[in-house]
Amino acid sequence: MNKEVWRKIISIITIILVVITVFVMVFTIVSMHTVGKDNRGVFGYKLNSVVTQSMEPTIDKGDIVITENVTYVPEGATVIDEDPDAVRAEDLKVGDIITFYSTEPAIYGQLNTHRIMEITTDEDGNLAFVTKGDNNPIEDSELALATNVYGRYAGTIPFLGSLFEFIKDESGIGYFTIILIPFLLLIVIQVVKFIKLMRKYRKEQQELLDEQRAEMETERQKAQDMMEELARLRAQMGVETQEVPPVDQSEQPAEETSAPAQESAADEVVVEEDTQE
C-alpha cells in the first residue's frame, strides 16, 4: 500500500473523528442542559431519556423522548407567565403518552413516560390521570397529577438516550470512551501530521541549502580553474620573453661614432682634390 493510499485513509479517519467528536460534544452539551430539565428545551420541545422497557415496543429503552410542553392552571389560580404554545392539561385525552413526575414510592420524583388510560381527579378534585406502560401488565399504582405532567409525547430519537446515560455515568467511563478518546486520537493524528509536515519542510530546506552550496562550489571551482589557466598563460608568456636575445647596449655608441669618422674621411678627400687643382 503506497503513501498516497495511506494519506487518503488517514484523511478519511480524521474527518470521521472530527464529525463524531463535534456531534458528541454538541449532543452532550445540549443534553446536559435540556434532558430532564423543566424549563429548558430545543425549539419548544423537551427531551427525556428512557431507562426502562415499560413502553416497548412503542418506545424502546435507550431512546430519547421528545415532548411538547404541558401547562395546567388549577381553578382559582393566577397565571403569571403561561406559554401560549403549550398544550393545556385539560386537552389531554385517553391514549396520549405523557411524561410526568411520578409519585410512586419506588421512583418518587423521577420522570416517567406512560400512556393515559383514564382521566379522573384526585381526592381534592384536581385533574389527574390513570397511566400504564404499554409493556406493563397493570396500571400504575399512583395517579399522575396534572400539576406534575412534564410534557406530551411527540416523538423519539432512537439510541441516543443510551448514549446520554453512558456519557453521564458517574464512573466517567462513558465520557472517557465517547469524548476523550476520539478527541485525543484527533490530537495525535494532527500532531503526527504536523511533525511530518515539519520534517518535509526541513528536508526541502536542506535540499535547497545543499543545492545552493553545490552551485557555490561549482562557481568556486570555475573561478579556481580560471585562476589556474591565467597563471599558466602568465608562465608561458614569461618563458617566451626569456627566449628573445637581449640587445647589446655597447654597440650603439660605436655606430654613433662611425658617422663622424666617415665625415672626416670625406673632408680629407675633398681637400686632396682641391690641392691637386
Domain boundaries, the chain: 1-33+172-225, 35-72+83-168
pLDDT at 181: 80
How is residue 245 annotated by DSSP? P
Neighbours of 56 (CB within 10 A): 14
Q: Is 100 left (phi over 0), alpha (psi -120 to 50) or beta?
A: beta
- The string of pLDDT tens digits covering residues 211-264 is 999 999 999 999 998 998 888 888 888 766 665 565 555 555 555 555 555 555
Query: What's the chain's average pLDDT?
Result: 78
The full DSSP string for 204-243 is HHHHHHHHHHHHHHHHHHHHHHHHHHHHHHHHHHHHHHHH
Neighbours of 67 (CB within 10 A): 24
Consecutive H or E run containing 117: strand 111-121
Q: Is the pLDDT of residue 176 over 80?
A: no
Q: pLDDT category, 8, cuts 50, 70, 90?
A: confident
* Phi, psi angles (nearest 5°) of residue 265: -65, -35
- Specify whether the CB–CB gap between 221 and 213 falls below 8 A: no
- The string of pLDDT tens digits covering residues 195-205 is 888 888 888 89
pLDDT at 246: 58
pLDDT at 152: 93
pLDDT at 78: 53
pLDDT at 31: 61
Identity of the highest mean pLDDT range in 37-41, 78-82, 105-109: 105-109
pLDDT at 275: 47
Span 116-139, mean pLDDT? 93
**Partner residues linked to 153 by β-bridges:** 67
Beta strands in 134-205 (DSSP E): 144-145, 149-157
The full DSSP string for 14-77 is HHHHHHHHHHHHHHHHHHHHHBT-TT--BTTEEEEE--SSTTTTTS-TTPEEEEEEEE---TTP
- b/e map of 124-147 (b: 16 or more CB within 10 Å)? eeebbbbbbbeeeeeebebbbbbb
Q: pLDDT category, 277, cuts 50, 70, 90?
A: very low
Least confident range from 42-46, 132-136, 145-149: namely 42-46
Beta-carbon contacts of residue 114 (< 8 Å; ≥ 6 apart): 54, 55, 97, 98, 100, 131, 132, 133, 136, 140, 144
> Using CA atoms, how far apart are residues 159 and 139, in angstroms rounded to an integer?
26
How is residue 168 annotated by DSSP? T
Q: pLDDT category, 28, cuts 50, 70, 90?
A: low
- The string of pLDDT tens digits covering residues 40-90 is 555 667 888 888 899 999 999 888 888 988 888 766 555 545 566 778 889
> Using CA atoms, how far apart are residues 266 and 258, in angstroms rounded to an integer?
13
- Specify whether the CB–CB gap between 51 and 61 falls below 8 A: yes
Q: Is the pLDDT of residue 175 over 50?
A: yes
Is the entire prediction scored with pTM above 0.85?
no
Fold annotation for 35-72+83-168: Umud Fragment, subunit A (2.10.109)
Q: Is the pLDDT of residue 276 over 70?
A: no
